Structure 1
Amino acid sequence: MIKSEALIYQDPTSGNTFEGVICWDEDLAGQKPGILVSHTFKGQSDFEIGRAQELAKLGYVAFALDMYGKGKRATAPEEADALMKPFLDNRGLLLNNILLALDTLKKHPEVDETKVGGIGFCFGGKCMLDLARSSAEIGGVVSFHGIYDKPGMEHQGDIKASVLVLHGWEDPLADPESTVALGHELTERNADWQILAFGHTGHAFTNPAAKFPEKGMYYKETSNRRAWQTMINFFEEIFGRI
């Protein structure tokens, strides 16, 4: 049986409180690999919780994290932009909050802290890439239709995480030039990386609620299915079959 429960956690430095949802299969004994699930610019929602539950069915402990803070969720794009802006302006804040979520996941009693990974969607993809850029101790990260700009922070040394980028070739928020630039960046940091681009696919291709083709944001069933299967294979290679 899949168990989903709210997980309240706090930043000891700022005192800010966050509320995520953690999911796992109660019928699987012992500690299991943990996977972060990082949300879009709207904040944590049923979409990310659903992805966490699907990961739990695969045998992982999945944590639909909270980047913005307890109760901070958007219902309109303008609200979402306002919530996201401080993290775009201050990538150190972004990294702090994603590292806090990682630490919270590692400390959960169901999680094998030596086996952790993460996935993220849109803004969450940016979060996963910044986590990898920081050389955090994490097995692998997956960006679904993420954003690829560098954080402007002087990270040193090799990227330790394996990196999988799942990309819509017609994504207006991540053009081919930025995608190629990300490949060069990951190569320079000696990362184990893969970029898989899906043709005739725009931004937000994993979300059935994305219905704005005129803006290049729309659900694509085939790309979503292929991307999820690629993610499954990626984590099986890193953590083994569960």
Structure 2
Amino acid sequence: MNQDFDSLFKHDIERQHYQIGAEANSTPLQIIIWPTFSGLSDFEKQFADRLAEQGYAVTAIDLYGQGQNPQDLPEKQAKMGALLAEAESLHGLQQELTQQALQGDSPIVHIGFCLGGRLALEAGLHFKETLGAASFHGLMSFYRAQSAELANQDVKLMIMNGYQDPLVNDEDTQSAKQYWSGLGIDFQFFDFGNTVHSFMLPSANNPDHGSLYNPLVAQRGFAYLTHFLAELS
């Protein structure tokens, strides 16, 4: 295990995941939410609240730890780079955080945004206990499984992507689709026209850098997610 990785993401890190328990007789799924590269924020918490209202047990992951969220763009990019630098370290941390978040033995669905979208796809592909994974404007350059036998080929995936997202190029998109197809994975990929990165985040307002909230697409994305979760339930 990389010591720099441990010091940044594991050692002496105090975390407080945002958890909402399911009501009695609620939907038998538990949802893990992976945040953007900014770390756990009110956005992920409010999204968790919306899903909990539908009867799901939800945990929004405190990825970096209390008081450890990066503040400016260079720091966010550096921390994301360190997080994604090595597959073994990344997946070990994801597995540990997922185990901390579990509220029972119901099937697990991972959902994420931006960096978290990639993390949701990573968890879906690499963790056999995952039933489904959904990515909103997530990065497509995820780590492949070391072999087809080690991949979670039973996972169902839903990817929601802005067609004009500058962080998701056609090469990465086609490579991901071909990879999932080769494994026989059930996936859905939605391209939203006239839409760039961060379309789900109300705070996103930087069109010059390809990041902008799109309320109509955000509404559609949540509706699609609702149907996807109902299918998995």
For the criterion TM > 0.5, the same-fold answer is: yes
Could you tell me which residue of structure 1 aligns to residue 15 of structure 2? 18
In the alignment, is the contact (CA less than 8 A) between 1:132 and 1:160 conserved in 2? Answer: no
Among 29, 34, 44, the alignment partner of 1:33 is 29
SS at match of 1:18: coil
CA distance, structure 1, for counterparts of residue 88 and residue 35 of structure 2: 18
Which residue does the alignment assign to 1:104?
Answer: 100
Change (3 A) 1:75 1:205: same
Q: Distance in 1 between matches of 2:144 and 2:174?
A: 18
User: Within 2, Cα distance between the matches of 1:66 and 1:18?
Assistant: 6
Instruction: State the match for 2:85 in structure 1.
Output: 89
Indicate if the aligned counterparts of 2:117 and 2:137 stay in contact, CA closer than 8 A.
Answer: yes
2:129 aligns with: 137
Q: Which residue of 1 aligns with 2:63?
A: 67
Q: Which moved more, 1:89-98 or 1:180-189?
A: 89-98
Does structure 2 retain, via aligned residues, the 8 Å contact 1:135–1:160?
no
Aligned partners of 2:134 and 2:159 also within 8 Å: yes
Deviations 1:191-232 (A, max 9, x none): 111101100100000001111111111011111111110000
Question: Could you tell me how far 1:155 is from its partner in structure 2?
Answer: 4.1
Q: What secondary structure, in the 3-state scheme, does the structure 1 residue paired with 2:66 have?
A: coil
Q: Displacement, 1:14? A: 5.8
Which blocks of at least 5 consecutive residues in structure 2 are unaligned? 1-9
Shift of 1:104: 2.2
Query: Counterpart of 1:9?
Result: none
1:192 and 2:186 matched: yes
Q: Distance in 1 between matches of 2:145 and 2:129?
A: 18
* C-alpha distance in structure 1 between counterparts of 2:216 and 2:77, whole Å: 29
Q: Give the drift of 1:152.
A: 5.7
1:174 aligns with 168
Under a length normalisation based on structure 2, what TM-score does the superposition of the two structures give? 0.88
User: How do 1:206-221 residues align onto structure 2 when only pairs under 5 Å count?
Assistant: 206-221=200-215
Q: Distance in 2 between matches of 1:122 and 1:93?
A: 20
Contact 1:133–1:155 under 8 Å retained in 2: no
One-letter code aligned to 1:223: V
Q: Kindly tell me: are residues 93 and 233 of structure 1, through their superposed partners in 2, closer, same or farther at Cα, counting changes over 3 Å?
A: same
The residue that corresponds to 1:46 in the other structure is 42
Cα distance change, pair 16–75 in 1 and its aligned pair in 2 (3 A): closer
Shift of 1:154: 1.4
1:114 aligned counterpart, secondary structure: coil
Contact persistence 2:110–2:123 (CA under 8 A): no
Superposition deviation, residue 84 in structure 1: 1.5
1:199 maps to amino acid: G
Render the CA deviation track for 1:98-125: whole Å, top value 9, x for unaligned. 212222233x2xx4x2322110000001
Q: Which runs of 5+ in 1 are unaligned?
A: 1-12
Paired residues of 1:24 and 1:61 also in contact (CA < 8 A): yes
When you count strand as a share of all residues, which structure comes out higher?
Answer: 1
* Corresponding residue SS for 2:16: strand
| Cα offsets for 1:124-165 (capped at 9, x unmatched) | 011011112214211110000000113265143252210000
Alpha-carbon distance in structure 2 between the residues aligned to 1:15 and 1:189: 39
Contact 2:38–2:69 (CA under 8 A) maintained in structure 1:
yes
Cα distance in 2 for residues equivalent to 1:155 and 1:217: 35
| TM-aligned CA deviation for residue 21 of structure 1 | 0.7
